[in-house]
Amino acid sequence: MVLVSNKELLEKANQEGYAVGAFNMNNMEIMQAIVEGAVEEDAPVIVAATKGAIKYAGIDYIAKLVHTAASKVDIPMSLHLDHGPDFETVMKCIRAGFTSVMIDGSFLPFEENVALTKKVVEVAHTVGVPVEAELGRLVGVEDEISVTEREAFFTDPKEAQKFVEETNCDFLAVSIGNAHGIYKGEPKLDFDRLKEIDEVVHIPLVLHGASGIPDDDIRRATRLGINKINIDTELRLAFRDAVREVVCKSDVYDPRKILGPARDAMKEVVKTKIRLFGSSKKA
Ligand SMILES: [Zn+2]
């Protein structure tokens, strides 16, 4: 199947009330784990690459790997730029065959975030590529700040409504207590805020930093308008643990015997998440 865009994937998810997993990839084994896991669950899936992944693997390698994988399977898949930092990176990705992009202007003042997002949306839409934007900042879990300080970065529902109207973005990533990386203690999502955002913003919402959020909270979030959930850290941990298991307990030096078990472990993470997000059998 050819790659589809997040527009098709997320509008169906929005109508039917589930979330599509967006899994980050940097190399062939991770990509195969994502695609094989999605095929076994008969689920739609988003393969996500950041600017860092592109720098590491090369944009053509990323694009060719994902297009090759898609051509061999029957599930709907997209190739998405995760946290696009600027206009130039977004354009390079569209040109390389990415079917969905994110522009992350969340670190900018509101009006500047609007201006940057709007510019990206105007150009991306002319070539049929949908755009995810972010409003409200995700604070790193390692940042030592108080709860009140943290809440100052949360997405404001009124601002979100204005932001979506002004930018015409297709999906919105929200900050409701989620964070990138490994959580210290149990994360607390602000569900009242999510509900308020969902009531005024009529596009699919996105949850970043979902690794480590309890399963019940993930299910609740998908009922409140979250239709795309990003998973990166849990894949990394599965990869690290599997590689360590092999390397520390044997003299194996064949890369296939080191990376093969890591691929299997990541595939299990992908399948577990897909079932949790409710997107099994939704291909
Ligand atoms: Zn993110």
Annotated catalytic residue, options 82, 198, 217, 232: 82
Q: pLDDT at position 152, please?
A: 75
198 is catalytic: no
Q: Quick: pLDDT tens for 86-127.
A: 999 999 999 999 999 999 999 999 999 999 999 999 999 999
pLDDT interval class at 180 (50, 70, 90): confident
Q: What token pair was written down for 60?
A: 């053509």
pLDDT bin (cut points 50, 70, 90) of residue 183 is: confident
Helix 59-71 and helix 87-96: axis angle, to 10°? Answer: 40
Ligand 1 centroid distance, CA of 213 (Å): 14
**Rounded to the nearest whole angstrom, what is the distance from the C-alpha of residue 174 to the centroid of ligand 1?**
10
Residues 221 and 223: their CA atoms lie apart, in Å, by 5
Q: What's the rounded mean pLDDT across residues 179-208?
A: 93
For residue 143, pLDDT over 60 is answered with no
CA of 233 to the centre of ligand 1 (A): 10
Distance 249 CA to ligand 1 centre (A): 34
* CA 246 to ligand 1 centroid distance, Å: 30
Residue with tokens 């399977």: 73
Whether 54 contacts 26, CB under 8 Å = no
Looking at domain 6-277, its CATH architecture is Alpha-Beta Barrel (3.20)
Spell out the domain ranges in the chain: 6-277
Predicted TM-score (pTM) of this structure: 0.95
**Distance between Cα 76 and ligand 1 center (Å):** 22
Q: How confident is the model at residue 46 (pLDDT cuts 50, 70, 90)?
A: very high
Listed residues: CB within 5 A of ion ligand 1: 208
Pairing of strands 171-174, 226-231: unpaired
